[in-house]
């Protein structure tokens, strides 16, 4: 799974660290802000059974849209 993370410059390192702690690898960093925003690509290899396990875990543990909005 690849996601592009765009964040304010002052939160760049914090967002990277959060994703690293969740098992993502960081690629294609753009730490220099453009219009106040920086970005990076976060990559996580998830097998078929791992993806299903992850979705079930999120559903059981109550991962809601509001949890993601803080990112």
Specify the pLDDT at position 48.
Answer: 55
Specify the pLDDT at position 47.
Answer: 64
Least confident of 19-23, 24-28, 52-56, 65-69: 65-69
Q: Is the pLDDT of residue 66 over 60?
A: no
Predicted TM-score (pTM) above 0.85: no
HEC letters along the chain: CEEEEEEEHHHHHHHHHHHHHCCCEEEEEEEEEECCEEEEEEECCCCHHHHHHHHHHHHHHCCCHHHHHCC
């Amino acid at each position: 799974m690849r996601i592009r993370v765009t964040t304010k410059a002052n939160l760049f390192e914090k967002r990277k660290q959060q994703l690293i702690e969740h098992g993502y690898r960081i690629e294609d960093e753009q730490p220099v802000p453009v219009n106040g925003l920086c970005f990076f690509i976060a990559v996580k290899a998830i097998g078929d059974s791992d993806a299903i396990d992850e979705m079930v875990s999120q559903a059981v543990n109550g991962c809601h849209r509001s949890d993601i909005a803080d990112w």
